[in-house]
Amino acid sequence: MALVMSILRPPHNPSGELLYNSGAVQSVLRVADESWQISHSGEGMLNRVRKMFKGNALALRYMLISLAILAVALVCLDAVIIPSLEDQGKIVSVGWKAENEKLLHYMSMRNRADNNCPVWRSDLFPVTPKKPKSKRILVMGDSYVWGDGYGNMNTIWWRQLQLELERRGYHDVEVIAAGLCGAPTAWELGWAKKIVPEYQPDLVIWGYLTNDPKESDDNKVPLVQSLRLPKDTAFSDRTSKVMEGLFPNLTDQLISVRNKHREEKSGGQYGYQYGDWDKKILEGKNFEQYKKTVQQVADFSHSLSVPSFVMTLPNAITYASSTDSKEPSTGANFFENVRHYYDVRYAPVRDVFVASGMTFYDILDDFISFASAHAPIGIESSKFAYIITPSNSHPGPLAAHFYGVKAADFLEAHYKDALGPRTFTAKKSPSSVVINDVVPPNMNVRQNTEHAFFEYPSNDEELLSMPIRKPYILINFEKPTALKTITLNGDQLKEADVYLTLQSTDKHYDEGPPLELGNKRGKSLCWNIPPSTMNQAEVSSIRISAKFKGPQHGVLMDITPSDSTNH
């Protein structure tokens, strides 16, 4: 009971105090706490309860009824209400947080980028120093190019640039990217000095984020520390595990409130909140050192025989700071708040890059106009509309696609020579679909022009599950394609359900929940996709949730593209 009381009443937490001071909750907790103390005394629990309520059977009955009502309410809140709110995109809880951990794990498994060679490459997406096409563009970055939180690598913005250039007729240029999570400009410069001579790009794009000016001392200690709270010792690990086992969603919400309160009250003792930190790195010694880094980037870029430029990558999300403890994630002024947040952080850096002779391409105003006009109806001012998952603030399909479009615009306007020849031919339906990314990556995928083979994992706990809340594998296509049929064959296949991720042929990004084709039973299954579904849409990925009769999980998959050429 001490744990329940401490969670409901975190120090100086107004919302927690309100909940804790509720008369009903106080009464239940007081009686329950007495029962808790009794259970730990030398006498038996039953005898002590009898003595406590001797002659007052009505009070005992009310206590038991109150505890039963409270238990039912907690179970309902934990198992029904919180997951429902999470599915509606109103909150983040255990479902998406666990999913994010899996996504990070599987991205680190399939992306072979490391500190020695941070170029994005995998078994299904090989990249070699030798150019497969006449032109190559290199994008330098950090987690925005590494793919933090992405189930489909083709959603990452540099892949969106590749697809956008191909839509415009530039088929002889390859876009590659290099970066690791948390990499500042100084790290990117060090990598570029090795990558550029080896991979011979025809143009370099330096993606800019507000955390890029992070600098360190000679011992690799950051000059400005971001917030890192120490472990919360209010209750033991064992007690936390018990609570998480009983009420995982509720416990997560309460602890999140408590941690946010701890962040706000830390007073800079353990570093700065992110919204303060990414401004502090633009001051004092850190910024003076960053100016030198920028000059080094400029000197290196000017020494190359190929052009380069810096491009900002804003997103419709801001971070709490000491001056604004509430993230402006809703409300009429949402986009103006976003514009202000990034503008004050871009302005000092813009001046430094321009003074060094580097081209600084700031897309902030264009992004605000685009995002405000294309946000999903009903949640225009919700940050969940622009991020890759509700628990990960990296850019989602809308934002990543926009970056690709703006980069293509700038390349066409200023660096057309780096794009190679432009050719337009009548669009034909592809004879086959190329798979270039799967999750999990260890499914032994093999494919040719007619078939694809994979081994469905045996442990459902390891699979992704959100947002459909059932275990599935994810198969991603190199290019979105209109499909006619999907066929699965497996000797021990028992049943399967298939979901499609669709993207509009006009917007070119995914903006809705997966489309379920339905569950089928048997070892040879076929889904016919209605032509109306493919009328103005293409499939970018497939989710498959399957069950098997035995240990043999091999599946032969045939995907037939649509005969239509109206895409």
Helical (H) or strand (E) element with 446: strand 446-447
The reported pLDDT for the residue numbered 11 is 39
Task: State the DSSP code for 79.
Answer: I
State yes or no: pLDDT of 168 exceeds 90: yes
- The CA-based angle 524-561-477, given to 5 degrees, is 90
Phi–psi pair at 311, nearest 5 degrees = -130, 125
State yes or no: pLDDT of 424 exceeds 90: no
Q: Which of 434, 528, 424 is nearest to 476 (CA)?
A: 434
User: Per-residue confidence at 537, pLDDT binned at 50, 70, 90?
Assistant: very high
Torsion of the alpha carbons at 437, 441, 446 and 448, rounded to the nearest 10: 0
- 377 vs 449, higher pLDDT: 449
pLDDT tens digits, residue range 207-241?
Answer: 999 999 999 999 999 999 998 888 887 777 888 88
Give buried/exposed letters for 431-449 (b at 16+ CB in 10 A, else e): ebbebbbbbbbebebebee
Percent of the chain with pLDDT over 90: 64
Mean pLDDT of 368-390: 75
Mean pLDDT of 250-259: 86
Question: Are 118 and 180 contacting, i.e. CB atoms less than 8 angstroms apart?
Answer: yes
The amino acid occupying position 427 is K
At a CB cut-off of 8 Å and minimum separation 6, what does 520 contact?
495, 496, 497, 526, 527
Helical (H) or strand (E) element with 453: strand 452-455
State yes or no: pLDDT of 7 exceeds 60: no
The reported pLDDT for the residue numbered 321 is 78
| Burial environment of residue 366 by CB neighbours within 10 A (0 to 12, 13 to 18, 19 or more) | middle
Mean pLDDT of 124-148: 97
Helical (H) or strand (E) element with 97: helix 94-110
* Runs of H (alpha helix) within 304-383: 334-356, 364-374
Separation of alpha carbons 301 and 358, rounded Å = 8
Q: Which of 380, 477, 407 is nearest to 124 (CA)?
A: 477
The reported pLDDT for the residue numbered 490 is 97
pLDDT tens digits, residue range 260-276?
Answer: 888 777 777 788 889 99
Q: Which of 201, 196, 122, 181 is nearest to 438 (CA)?
A: 122
User: Per-residue confidence at 57, pLDDT binned at 50, 70, 90?
Assistant: confident
The reported pLDDT for the residue numbered 376 is 61
- The CA-based angle 110-112-118, given to 5 degrees, is 140
pLDDT tens digits, residue range 517-534?
Answer: 999 999 999 999 998 888
User: Per-residue confidence at 27, pLDDT binned at 50, 70, 90?
Assistant: very low
The reported pLDDT for the residue numbered 174 is 98
Q: Angle, nearest 10°, between helix axes 364-374 and 334-356?
A: 150
Question: Are 501 and 529 contacting, i.e. CB atoms less than 8 angstroms apart?
Answer: no
In Å, what is the CA distance from 132 to each residue of 172, 210, 420, 433?
A: 9, 34, 13, 20
Percent of the chain with pLDDT over 70: 85
**DSSP output for 225-243:** PBP-PPPP-SS-HHHHHHH
Tokens of 337: 């708040």
Q: Which of 96, 60, 198, 186 is nearest to 138 (CA)?
A: 198
At a CB cut-off of 8 Å and minimum separation 6, what does 351 contact?
none
Mean pLDDT of 421-442: 85
State yes or no: pLDDT of 258 exceeds 90: no
In Å, what is the CA distance from 34 to each residue of 7, 67, 325, 421?
A: 18, 13, 38, 80
User: Per-residue confidence at 565, pLDDT binned at 50, 70, 90?
Assistant: very low
The reported pLDDT for the residue numbered 434 is 95
pLDDT tens digits, residue range 458-498?
Answer: 999 999 999 999 999 999 999 999 999 999 999 999 999 99
Torsion of the alpha carbons at 347, 350, 354 and 356, rounded to the nearest 10: 110
User: Per-residue confidence at 384, pLDDT binned at 50, 70, 90?
Assistant: low
State yes or no: pLDDT of 426 exceeds 70: no
At a CB cut-off of 8 Å and minimum separation 6, what does 302 contact?
357
At a CB cut-off of 8 Å and minimum separation 6, what does 375 contact?
316, 381, 385, 386, 398
Global pTM reads 0.87
Separation of alpha carbons 288 and 223, rounded Å = 11
Q: Angle, nearest 10°, between helix axes 57-76 and 23-39?
A: 110
Is the bond leading into 467 cis (omega within 30 degrees of zero)?
yes
Task: State the DSSP code for 119.
Answer: B
The reported pLDDT for the residue numbered 268 is 73
- 67 vs 378, higher pLDDT: 67
User: Per-residue confidence at 5, pLDDT binned at 50, 70, 90?
Assistant: very low
The reported pLDDT for the residue numbered 3 is 42
User: Per-residue confidence at 556, pLDDT binned at 50, 70, 90?
Assistant: very high
User: Per-residue confidence at 433, pLDDT binned at 50, 70, 90?
Assistant: very high
Question: Are 167 and 508 contacting, i.e. CB atoms less than 8 angstroms apart?
Answer: yes
Question: Are 548 and 483 contacting, i.e. CB atoms less than 8 angstroms apart?
Answer: no
Instruction: Enumerate the β-bridge partners of residue 318.
Output: none
- The CA-based angle 349-353-355, given to 5 degrees, is 115
CA 363, chain centre distance (Å): 22
List the domains of the chain with CATH numbers: 2-88+230-264 (no CATH), 109-224+278-418 (3.40.50.1110), 435-561 (2.60.120)
**Average pLDDT over all residues of the chain:** 87
